[in-house]
Structure 1
Amino acid sequence: MKQLTFYFDPISPYAALGFEALPEALAGHSVEVVYRPILFAALLQALGQKGPAEIEAKRRWTFRQVAWLAHVQGVVLDPPAQHPFNPLPLLRLAWACAAPQGQPGDTPGRWVVEQLFHHVWRGAGADANEPARLAELTRRLAPAQDPAGEAVKQRLRSETEAALAVGVFGVPTIELDGRLFWGQDALPMLRAALDGDPWFRSGIWEAAAQPRPGITRKH
């Protein structure tokens, strides 16, 4: 059985769409999916980047494109009242719903991840951090650990750092056999890898990533 790692942050509409489309991309294959919530903002800070919603023209395009993608996929996507928002309560809740690190079930399951995405992106435009809504979500998920506990906070930090260490730079990212597939639109490529497309054994994957030194922009 193959194992995939799905890195995500519920703040990302592309991660939400990728999550919804993942079962179809994996259909016909015996695959275990491990869901790893990470803090997208920490990736951006580490890499010296801004998020799409922090650049106005890019924000407008992003929400137009994800509205179109949701239409094409036939899924509901209701942007929350505020975006970007602080996703830490949701990320910590996700890890709180998992067993302590090193024990069976120490990553959140698909149902938990689905509830997080639906809370943000199927909430009829509500505030993702509205206290009553967060309290209801927490009650429904019944976390095994304290979301505000130091163990959960440290788990989120360490998972985000580990993701950076393997080369994750955005969400969603899916890891398969040491290869990273970034973005909802990479699912067809992931599917081809699962299907054993010979392209992945041709050397092109490795050759395409070789550095091509060029002009360095000064900031």
Structure 2
Amino acid sequence: MKRVTFYFDPISPYAALAFEALPEALAGHSVEVVYRPILLAALLQALGQKGPAEIEPKRRWTFRQVAWLAHSQGVVLDAPAQHPFNPLPLLRLAWACAAPEGQAGDTPGRWVAEQLFHHVWRAAGADASDPTRLADLAQRLSPALDPGSEPIKQRLRSETERALALGVFGVPTLACEGRLFWGQDSLPMLRAALADDPWFRSSAWDDAARARPGLARRH
């Protein structure tokens, strides 16, 4: 059985769309999916990037595109009242629902991830940061650990740092057999890899990523 690791932050509509499409993309393959919540903002800060919602023209396009993608996938995707928002309470809650690191079930399962995504993207435009809604979500998930405890905060930091060290630069990212597949639109590529497409057995993967000379932007 192959393992696919799904790196996500519920702040991302593309991660929400990929989450919904993942079962169909993996259908017919014997795959274990591991869900790892990470802080997208920390990745962007480490790499000196802004999120799409922080650039106004890109923000408008992003929400138009994800609305179309949701329509084409036949899934519900309601933008929250405010975006971007602080996803830390959701991310920490997810890790609080998992067993301590090193124990069986030490990552949150698909149901927990689904509740986070639905809290943000299937709430008829409600505020994802509303304290009452967050408290209701925590009660529903019944975390085994305190989401506000230092061990949980550190777990989120360490998971994000590990993802960054592996080369994860955005969400959603799916890792499988040493390869990283970024974005909702990479699911067909992942499915081809799982199906042992000859392209992945050739040198094409490595050849395509070879650095090429180019212009350096002046700051």
TM-score where L is the length of structure 2: 1.00
1:176-195 correspondence runs (5 A): 176-195=176-195
**CA–CA separation in structure 1 for the residues paired with 2:33 and 2:138:** 23
**CA–CA separation in structure 1 for the residues paired with 2:214 and 2:182:** 24
Matched with 2:208 is 208
Give the Å deviation of 1:91: 0.2
Give the Å deviation of 1:101: 0.4
- Residues 118-150 of structure 1 deviation map (CA, whole Å, 9 limit, x = unaligned): 000001100001011000000000001100000
RMSD: 0.4
Structure 2 regions of 5+ residues with no counterpart?
none
**CA–CA separation in structure 2 for the residues paired with 1:77 and 1:149:** 32
> Which amino acid is 2:198 matched to?
P
1:6-85 correspondence runs (5 A): 6-85=6-85
- Residues 13-69 of structure 1 deviation map (CA, whole Å, 9 limit, x = unaligned): 000000000000000111100000000000000000000000000000000000000
- Residues 160-209 of structure 1 deviation map (CA, whole Å, 9 limit, x = unaligned): 00000000000000000000000000000000001110000110100110
**CA–CA separation in structure 1 for the residues paired with 2:187 and 2:67:** 18
Whether 1:134 and 2:134 are equivalent positions in the alignment is yes
> Which amino acid is 2:70 matched to?
A
**CA–CA separation in structure 1 for the residues paired with 2:202 and 2:101:** 38
Number of residue pairs the alignment of both structures matches: 219
> Which amino acid is 2:52 matched to?
P
> Which amino acid is 2:34 matched to?
V
**CA–CA separation in structure 2 for the residues paired with 1:110 and 1:49:** 29
Q: Secondary structure at the match of 2:148?
A: coil
Structure 1 regions of 5+ residues with no counterpart?
none
> Which amino acid is 1:137 matched to?
L
Which consecutive segments of 4 or more residues in structure 1 shift more than 6 A? none
Matched with 2:165 is 165
Matched with 1:108 is 108
Matched with 1:218 is 218
Give the Å deviation of 1:213: 1.8
> Which amino acid is 2:10 matched to?
P
Q: Percent identity over the alignment?
A: 81
TM-score where L is the length of structure 1: 1.00
**CA–CA separation in structure 1 for the residues paired with 2:88 and 2:145:** 15
